[in-house]
Structure formats: structure tokens, C-alpha cells
Structure 1
């Protein structure tokens, strides 16, 4: 059976449309530089990231978006651009995009892990007041930083009534309460007669909850507090780093270069008439080769037990299977940007590429969340129930990794079956 790589650029249609020259690249770069400057102006008008306004968040996202597209285009079409200028501005734009993305990444990772803990422990969620006093110190946050998480929830054991008003003793550590109840257990009263409703009027756990779920519920609250303390601290540091970066001379130098790019693109001699399609095809070929190196046959199973065993190893380093998938995600993004240059941004989004990109984004998020859970589990002197909850959370996120790989495999192989001839 004959096989060939994915025909992502559709050369037959490209031949009828004629060559796409370096002038198209220059126009695309000027447009992205203009978007960068517009987002920068909006960012300054909204007061910067310290103001916490929605407009500032959208402006930072637009800055990252245009910086990524400029960087990707400079990488794919670098033979047509001035080498010294390209090698000078490309790392700076990558630095800016990565710096601005860190705060959002930590916040999204915390939300993902807390949601997974609630799902795994069977806990109910109730809105909470802004943390103050002892509770704020225990969680490692302040009321000011808490404002950025208005939807934060707490873990309530199944069957326990939601607290109406927190008394003064509600801020005591959960470990002290648990140890006190263990040290002096009350005499167990005789069980009430059965009413046939399957409910309990006691204050203990739900009688139908299995023992492992009960243990997980006990450790989930402490695990959530530990994760919130660690990731909130990391998010705060990323926020400070972004503020320093946006006020640094390094950022102003990058903004000046982008401003010059909006008016003049330093193409090489003869680049204005050079066809861009061979360079875009090379980007597609790199993507196809990277996908071919992935274990798609193994990822084709909904439950990949072998990969999960490796993913649950105690090695603190990232799992070696994750790196090739992250590389495919980057190459897929470069391929999308190359297509945008060829079609001047007018081509509708291809559903297959969109689905593949979403699957790889989920893979990256789950992989980093699993690493964060494993890192929290290595905290010295944590309670066994907390470590158990973090271990279950780590395993759950590794399951999410395998689910994302399976989704990508289904999307990619389905397209290949449609495109590859059978004779």
C-alpha cells in the first residue's frame, strides 16, 4: 500500500493560484507588528497588569499572540530575511511571549488541579469569603491577591452540611481537628431505625462512601491548600516578573524594533520575488516527521496502561514520552502560522488542525498539572492522607495525558485514511 505524508498545503490548489512571494511575507509581518503596537497601546491605556482589568488581560493576550506569529514566521521564512536582524529580534519576542504567559499558566493550572480534586473526592463546592487573618496566612495568599480568584471553592466532605457562617474556630488547621477527634472518640450511639430513605442524620461521612473515597476526601482539602499555596506563590512571582519585564529597557528595545518592522521589513535581495511555498512545505515536512516518530499505535488504545506505568514513575524529571508531543505541538503551531502567511490570513480555520491543536494543548496542560502534583507530593513532612490525595491527583492527570494523546491519534489517523490512496 502506498503511503505519503499529509498534504496540508494542498499543492494542487496552490499551483492554480500562482506563487506566493516574499511580498506576502512582508505584508503579513507588517500586519502582525501593527497588531503588536495596537495591543501595547491598549495595555498602557488600561493601566498595565497591575490594575487587574479585563482590558489589560486581553491586551497581554494580544501581545503574546502577535509576538508568537512574528517569531514563528521569522523561524519558517528566515532564509528570506536579514540574518542578523532576524536572529536578534526572534529570541527577544520569544522571551516576551513566554514571560507574559507564565502568570496565566499558573492560574489555569491551579484551577485545573482544584477542579480535579473536587471531582475525585466527590466533594461539593461552596463559594468562600476572601481569605483573611489565619486562613490567608495558611493558604499563602492575601485579600488583594485573592481578588483575582473570585470563583475559588473549598472542598466539603460528602454528606457534611455547608457552613452558614464561619465561627472563630473555623480557621483552625484541619489536622488539629482530625487529631483531636481521633484522640478522644465519642461513644458510638446505637444506630437509629432504618427509614428506607438511605440517608443519615449523623455528622460523619456518608455511610455509603467507600473507605478509599473517605480517605481521599480527608486529604483532598489539605492537598488543595498545599497546591494553592505553592501555585499562588509561583503566580505572584510570575506577575512580578511580567511587571518588571514590561518596564525594562529590554522590552522597550523590542517594542522599538517591532515599530520599525511595522513600516519596513528587512528582506534579503531577491526575496520579494521568491516563492514561499517550498519553505512552508519544509515546515509541514518537519511536522509530518515529528508525528511519524510518535507512538501513535500505542496512543490508539483508550487505556494505555504501559504509558501510565512510566508516567507514574518516581523520577522527578519530566516523563521522556512528553517531550516529543510538546515538540509536535510547537511544530503544528509553526505550520499554522506558515499557512496564514500563504493565504494572507484569509483562509478559514481548518477543523482538523484546530482539533489537533486543542488535543495537544490539553496534553501540555495535563502533563504540567501532573508535574505540579508530583512536586507538591515531595513537600517534606506532609500528612499521609495529603500525599495519598496528591498521588491520586497525579495519576488522574496522567490519565488525562493519555486521553489527549488518544484524541490526537484519532484526529490524525482519520485524516490520513481519508487522504492516503489505497493503490
Structure 2
């Protein structure tokens, strides 16, 4: 098979038309339906029961159900992303109706795993920072400690930064004892809050998979597996301009990032905002999250253009990993800050959560620096 090229000026390039898009969408729809069937078969913990009316099958392992849910999420994201990038080639009414539904499904199925990973990340960080086990061994201390004054908002920025010992490093030995005092209770508080959030996310996912809304989405994906609603002019329209536009949006978003600031190991402004009583998302993180989304859309567009022959882009792979770490650390820092706003916790608990928050904001800065370094490299294609 001839190699597909992104450069339209290359005389040897094979034209990539809507046939490639239709084939890609059919393949992703087929993967979606296969994952749905496997999810039902692996639902021994009750997860598959929600999809019983649609998929049929037998009970299997919890792991299989989790893997199937992940595959469902991945297929839904790829279909939705392709509908966004190549929307001029698809029936407008159908596309605009499908994209938000697929985004809803992907987001709903991803919450449980996100809370689980966030809790694990925070407990491991507490263990690293304090040098002691932080898994909850006693009830969370809810004694009065001056109301909400013991929250993260009361922790001095300088103390939080110094006690983390820099990105990924432990605090000085003299301070580690103070941190250890509150680490166990901080871990217990995080365990309680994030486990509750994970349980609710699990219930929400089960309800979603058993809802008429999900069945409507699954029905449309089933149709997509055999019939892609292209516009009349799509078969003769090349895909490159639309894929190039997606790449340009990514490039422009990266150009707007403060990459020079990202080269510094400590961003005081970022830490100050996180320590404030305002629970809103961190304003500095938004543009980075947007770049992560645009990089994903660019990757999906490459998958459509190249089919199964997409060359390995080392820069894109490394940059994507850095942005994933950025998201994980950002959300973990927000969870630590939210926990520290819990009323009636002890100063030692709030102190441990404040140090944990600062540590994760350092991880955010480290991820930004890693992205900066990765994106400045030349793209290397595998043979």
C-alpha cells in the first residue's frame, strides 16, 4: 500500500479523501460495540447488569469490565474527535447531535478511574514527603481547630514551598517530623473524600450505561459501524486541509503558552492562587489543558490520514505524556486544597495538606518544563 503523506505539495503523495475518514469511523464504531459486549461479559460486580438489555452475554472478571469501559471511552473519544476535526465532511445535524453525547459518555466513564488514580497519587506523595505510612489507620480528626482557619488558605507560601524541598523532593529532616504528625490524618481525609467521590462516580457510570440516553448513543454507533453520513461533496474532498487546520490550532495554542515561565522550577504565582480560599480551577492551568485536548485531536487526525501506517512521532508522544502528568498533578493539587478547606480539621492535618498541595504544584511546573523540552525537539519518525 502506498504511504500516505501530510504534505500536499509532495508529488508522490497519495490523496486522502473521505473514504479514509469513513473507514476510520466504521472501525472505531466496531471497537465501541466490541467493548460494549466485553463490558457486559465482564460485569460480575454488577457493572455489566446496566448494559444487559443491549449487549447480552455472560459474567466475567471485574478487570475485564474495567478494560472494556476504558476501550469504550477510547473509541468514543476518537469518534467524537474525528467528528470535530472533519465536521465539514459529515452531515451537520447528525454530527452536532453525536459529539456532545459521546463526550458525555467518555467523561462519565472516566471519572471513577480518575478519582482512584488521584487518591493513589496523593497517598504516595504523602508517604514520600513524610517518610511514614499515610494510609488511614484512625478516623479523621474532626475536632474544632478554629473553624476553617486551619485550611490551606492559612499556610504561608514560603513555608509550603520550602517544605517540599523542590519538585518531587522530600522536605528537610527538621520539618519532616511536623509533617508526619498530620500526614496520617490527611491521608485518612483524602481517602474518605476521594473514595466517596469514586463510589458516586461508579454509581453514575452504572446509571449512565443503563439509561435510555446511552442506548440511543449505542444505537447510533451501531448504525455508524456500517453507514457513515457523509455530505454529497465529501467523497471528492481531501482530508489534508482539515487535518492541517487542526495542527495549526495546536501550534497557535502552544505559541500562546508561557513556555519561558515553564522553564523555571518554581512558579510562585501558581502556588499563591492554589493557596487562596477560592475553589475555582487554577487559571494558569486552563491553557495547558486546552493544548492537551488539541494535541489529542491532532493525533486522531493523523490516525485518520495514515490509517494503520502512522509513523511514530517521538516529540508528540513525549509531549502528550508531559501534559498528562500536568493534568494529574493539577487535579491532585486541587483535591489537596479542597480537603484542606474541610471545616474543623487540626492545624497539623491542614499543614500536611498544604505541603502536599505545594508538592503537586511543583509537579505541575516540572511537567510544564518537560513539555517545553519535548516540544523543542525535532520530530523523529520510526522507519
TM-score by length of 1: 0.75
The alpha-carbon deviation at position 47 of structure 1 amounts to: 2.0
Deviation >6 Å, runs of 4+: none
- Paired position in structure 2 for 1:101: 110
Take 2:110 and 2:277, find their aligned partners in 1: how far apart are those partners? 29
> 1:138-149 counterparts in 2 under 5 A?
none
- CA distance in structure 2 between the aligned counterparts of 1:282 and 1:174, rounded to whole angstroms: 52
Q: Is the 8 A contact 2:6 2:240 kept in 1?
A: no
Match of 1:43 among 35, 39, 45: 39
Q: 1:386 to 1:78 in 2, by over 3 A?
A: same
| Equivalent residue, structure 2, for 1:56 | 65
Shift of the 250–39 alpha-carbon distance from structure 1 to 2, 3 Å rule, reads same
For residue 165 of structure 2, what is the aligned residue in structure 1? none
Classify 1:380/1:387 alpha carbon distance in 2 versus 1 (closer, same or farther; 3 Å). same
Match of residue 135 from structure 2? 154
Matched residues, number: 334
Partner of residue 33, structure 1:
29
Deviation, structure 1 residue 413: 2.0
Gaps of 5+ in 1: 1-8, 126-152, 156-170, 177-208, 419-423
Q: Kindly state the Cα deviation for residue 412 of structure 1 after the two structures are TM-superposed.
A: 1.1
CA contact (8 A) 1:280 1:338 kept: yes
The one-character-per-residue Cα deviations of 1:25-58 (angstroms, maximum 9, x if unpaired) are 0000000000001111111111266366111011
Choose which of 181, 186, 190 in structure 2 pairs with 1:218: 181
CA distance in 1, matches of 2:10, 2:319: 23
Matches within 5 A, 1:77-116: 77-116=86-125
Aligned equivalents of 2:98, 2:44: Cα separation in 1: 23
Aligned pair partner of 1:372 in 328, 332, 335 = 335
Structure 2 residue 239 is matched with structure 1 residue 267: no
Q: CA distance change for structure 1 residues 172 and 399 in 2, over 3 Å: closer, same or farther?
A: closer
CA change 1:386–1:282 in 2 (3 A) is: same
SS at match of 1:154: coil
TM-score normalised by L of structure 2: 0.83
Between the aligned partners of 2:140 and 2:192, the Cα distance in structure 1 is 15
CA RMSD of aligned residues (A): 2.1
CA distance in 2, matches of 1:405, 1:77: 30
Q: Counterpart of 1:301 in 2: which secondary structure?
A: coil
Tell me how far 1:10 sits from its aligned partner.
Answer: 4.7
Contact persistence 2:140–2:188 (CA under 8 A):
no
CA distance in 2, matches of 1:301, 1:354: 23
* 8 Å contact from structure 2 (residues 275, 337) kept in 1: no
Partner Cα distance (2:126, 2:66) in 1 = 27
* Worse-superposed segment, 291-300 or 211-220: 211-220
Cα distance in 2 for partners of 1:58, 1:172 equals 33
Q: Which deviates more from structure 2 when the two are superposed, residues 340-349 or residues 13-22? A: 13-22
Distance 1:65 1:173, change over 3 A: closer
**Residue 71, structure 1, aligned to residue 101, structure 2:** no
CA contact (8 A) 1:355 1:411 kept: yes
CA distance in structure 2 between the partners assigned to 1:14 and 1:259 by the alignment: 37
Structure 2 unaligned segments of length 5 or more: list them.
Answer: 48-60, 143-171
CA contact (8 A) 1:222 1:386 kept: yes
Q: Which residue of 2 aligns with 1:316?
A: 279
Counterpart Cα distance in 2 of 1:50 and 1:375: 31
SS of 2:343's partner is coil
Deviation at 1:361, TM superposition (A): 0.4
Residue from 264, 287, 290 that aligns with 1:301: 264
1:220 & 1:263 partners in 2: Cα distance?
55
Deviation, 1:174, is 8.1
Measure the CA separation in 2 of the matches of 1:334 and 1:120: 37
Does residue 1:333 correspond to 2:333, yes or no?
A: no
Look up the match of 1:3: none
Cα deviation for residue 172 of structure 1 reads: 6.2
Q: Does 1:412 align with 2:375?
A: yes
Whole-angstrom CA distance in 1 between matches of 2:15 and 2:45: 43
Larger of the two Rg values belongs to structure: 1
Q: 1:343 to 1:383 in 2, by over 3 A?
A: same
Which deviations, in whole Å up to 9, do the C-alpha atoms of 1:108-127 show, x marking residues without a partner? 0000000000001011x4xx
